[in-house]
Amino acid sequence: MNTICSSCQATNRLPEDRIDDGAKCGRCGHSLFEGDVVHATAATLDKYLQDDLPVVIDFWAPWCGPCVNFAPIFEDVAQERAGKIRFIKVNTEAEPELSARFRIRSIPTIMVFNEGKMVDMLSGAVPKAPFNDWLNESL
């Protein structure tokens, strides 16, 4: 499988059975599957969408109360699903071109991508259990 390093955006190839072995980036040495949420920009998002892992993007803004309240849930699920799904946040305030590109009309908006194509979308913040259920259904 090919996966993208969240630190240097290098593409790394590794066997799928080695995901749980503490894989590190061949370029910078950063852990590939630590479960951290990645903050993407217009310059980096397309690279992350090339990952063989499914990608979940949270489009949010710092002034949005529901977005701020949903952030810990998003981070918890990212930790729990490390190595299985890549979790990304896009600040719509700082990245208006991405908001326009993905036709974001309300926030938070969460999108799931598989093989670079959007497979599902969720508008609004939800509790952790329904969010996990939605991810399971989407993937």
The structure tokens listed for 78 are 């990212």
The long-range contacts involving 128-135, CB below 8 angstroms and separated by at least 24 positions, are 128/73, 128/76, 128/77, 131/73, 131/74, 131/77, 132/77, 135/56, 135/77, 135/81, 135/85
Is 25 an active-site residue? Answer: no
Tell me, yes or no, if 28 is annotated catalytic. Answer: no
**Active-site residue numbers?**
64, 67
